[in-house]
Amino acid sequence: WRWIDTVTTQLELSDAAPEDLAVVLSSTATDPELRDAARHALERIGCAVVVLGPCGRAGVEDPLGNPVVLAGLRAADLVVDLADLVGHSSHRNELLLDTRVLAITVDRAADLDRLVAHPGLARRVEHLDQLLESATSLRLVSVEAESLDVALEGSRRRLDRGVADRIGELARWPAGAVWVRPHSGGVAGAVVLLPGDILIEAQHLVRSPVRLEIEAGHLVEIIGESTDADVLRSQLEADPHPDDAYQVSEIGLGLNLLRIGSPAGPFDASKLSVGQGAAAAGCCSVRFGRARAPSATVTMTSASALLDDRSIVEAGHLSGAVAPDVYERAAAR
């Protein structure tokens, strides 16, 4: 019932309403308990529910390419995608002309125990977006006092709100981040990765300091003789687009509050679990390569962030207007 309660709240945030037609989309890899939780949550709200799948069997690259499947999804008011099939479909834009999609991207229903479904997250994401809109610069400062300066003029932003409350919207949940796409050459300085920081795509926790020097939006040097530095170098060298691999594509600020408190230590593997990583509250990330297919994302878990010298993250903790209020914190207990 805890899982159903959590999913129900998140669906209501996505404006699921009585008498809506909702389709639950799953694959052969979907946890049956997660599928049941989604179905029961929609039924509790009063939606008419169709469970479609499992789709995505071996040998089928894009199940939405089936016109019957696509037509069924387009007829829905809300699609709950438990396999992130829509996000990887070439028919995504066609589908989103008529409906909205909430992708619940957890592997197991038990992962829902960590998540907080609360309207405060979307509000904080939108508020941070407004702060970035009016700011001229963003600075990320590591505990070594090294800083990375990001010019915001001419930049674009991508919001990760986790709610699909508008036709044409595809939202993934768990969520909670704002990503800044700086203009070419608008990033300069240094990033120092410290023990407990994360190499996201490699699912690797850093154990030794690694210094990254960035000039005019490009990574020019990795300083460190350790396995951590070698993992990062290997990621960058393996990118199939070498001309883009070392370019800073996005800067991310995480806002996601978890139900369970802080990890037990810098090397706690829970940092790599659902809802953590770059989206975790207080994390600051730098992404290299192409935004949709990055070569590497480095996430600092104890850095600070300032907008025009106004603090929004202090040593890995959200501060000021982007910090969770007392009601959201209570929901996380």
Q: What is the CA radius of gyration of the chain?
A: 20
Q: Give CA 187 to chain center in angstroms.
A: 22
For the record, the structure tokens of 293 come out as: 């297919």
Token pair 């999804």: residue? 73
- Amino acid residing at 140: L
279 and 244 Cβ atoms separated by less than 8 Å? no
254-271: buried (b, 16+ CB within 10 Å) or exposed (e) per residue? bbbbbbeeebeeeeeeeb
- Amino acid residing at 97: L
Helices (H), the chain: 2-13, 32-45, 67-74, 92-96, 119-134, 227-237, 326-331
Residue 261: per-residue pLDDT: 58
Mean pLDDT by 10 residues, the chain (333 residues): 96 96 93 97 97 67 84 95 92 94 94 94 97 97 91 95 95 96 94 95 95 97 96 96 95 91 71 83 96 93 95 95 94 88
92 and 121 Cβ atoms separated by less than 8 Å? no
Residue 240: per-residue pLDDT: 93
Token pair 């997660």: residue? 34
Widest CA span in the chain: 60
- The dihedral through the CA atoms of 117, 122, 124, 128 has a sign that is positive
- Amino acid residing at 330: A
Residue 202: per-residue pLDDT: 94
Residue 262: per-residue pLDDT: 54
Residue 57: per-residue pLDDT: 52
| Cα gap 228→190, rounded to integer Å | 17
137 and 305 Cβ atoms separated by less than 8 Å? no
Sequence-distant (6+) residues with CB within 8 A of 59 are none
